[in-house]
């Protein structure tokens, strides 16, 4: 696919997807969501991808859904939104479940679907000027983009209700305090710090990272014994894989492990 609304590159095990509609606040429409879905499939299938970085061009991370494009659809809006959510939700599902960690750098405002994109990521680093808002009900809409699944799990029901019902914008420091983001850094350090953590993860045990993601996604739906059985299966698979064998050998030999990725 030739991308128009996102840019994509892979170098040194690090894939990078940049939202690229800066003049529109990187707002999401159906064609952009299709491109994001294609990126998610490529990252899920390509063994060379050890980590995915998601960032955005311009001064805003993502304004959420493109309300102008919604208005332009008029009587076709229902079918268009149902198709758009197929592409967008499929993207977020793959980001949450693929083996490679997703590191998202939030510059400026993340609203609506942009907020959801950050929430389905594994590591969220925000610039000091970043802000987060649900925004859906302000336009008479209900939340989508994985937010009703991730937000209550990350920040609790009461806080999720507040953000969804009032659309109150929270800044980067409050987002850090609530556990919505992993780190906050100076705006001018955001790009460098993002690539630093991406480089660390790209050199790590990708298969074990995939296990972490699968286990944490399942934990709220399983009882204790079911979850422990999944843990036993995942740790066994990793122990007999190349990265597990290398990790144990490196520990015993008192050296840094050289993880290779996919078994």
* Residues taking part in catalysis: 89, 144
133 beta partners: 111
How many C-beta atoms surround the C-beta of residue 79 within 10 A?
Answer: 10
Cα diameter, the chain: 67
- Residue 232's alpha-carbon distances to 228, 239, 244, in angstroms, are 6, 10, 14
Contact 17, 6 (CB under 8 A): yes
Pairing, β 131-133 against β 183-185: unpaired
Give which of 219, 27, 213, 207 is closest to 110, Cα–Cα. 27
Tell me if 91 sits within 8 A of 40, measured CB to CB.
yes
How far apart CA 108 and CA 63 sit, in angstroms, is 10
CB 60 within 8 A of CB 108: yes
Which residue shows structure tokens 């609790």? 156
Whether 123 and 103 have beta carbons less than 8 Å apart is answered as yes
CA angle (256 as vertex; 251, 259 as ends), nearest 5: 95
Q: What is the DSSP letter of 54?
A: E
Q: Which residues pair with 104 in a beta bridge?
A: 54, 124
- CA nearest neighbour of 24 among 72, 49, 56, 47: 56
């Amino acid at each position: 696919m030739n991308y128009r609304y996102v840019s994509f590159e892979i170098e040194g095990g690090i894939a990078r997807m940049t939202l690229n509609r800066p003049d529109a606040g990187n707002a999401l429409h159906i064609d952009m969501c299709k491109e994001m879905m294609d990126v998610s499939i490529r990252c899920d299938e390509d063994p060379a991808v050890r980590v995915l970085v998601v960032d955005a061009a311009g001064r805003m991370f993502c304004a959420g859904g493109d309300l102008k494009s919604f208005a332009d659809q008029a009587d076709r809006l229902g079918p268009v939104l149902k198709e758009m959510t197929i592409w967008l939700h499929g993207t977020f599902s793959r980001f949450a479940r693929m083996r490679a960690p997703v590191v998202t750098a939030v510059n400026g405002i993340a609203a609506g679907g942009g907020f959801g994109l950050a929430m389905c990521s594994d590591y969220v680093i925000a610039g000091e000027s970043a802000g987060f808002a649900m925004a859906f009900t302000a336009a008479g809409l209900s939340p989508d983009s994985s937010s009703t699944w991730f937000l209550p799990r990350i920040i609790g029901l009461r806080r999720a209700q507040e953000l969804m019902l009032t659309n109150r914008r929270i800044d980067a420091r409050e987002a850090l305090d609530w556990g919505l983001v992993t780190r906050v850094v100076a705006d001018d350090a955001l790009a460098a710090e993002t690539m630093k953590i991406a480089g660390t993860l790209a050199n790590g045990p990708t298969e074990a990272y995939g296990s972490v993601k699968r286990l944490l996604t399942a934990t709220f739906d399983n009882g204790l014994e079911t979850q422990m059985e999944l843990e036993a299966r995942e740790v066994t698979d990793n122990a007999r894989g190349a990265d597990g064998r290398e990790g144990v050998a490196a520990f015993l030999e008192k050296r840094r492990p050289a993880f290779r990725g996919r078994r």
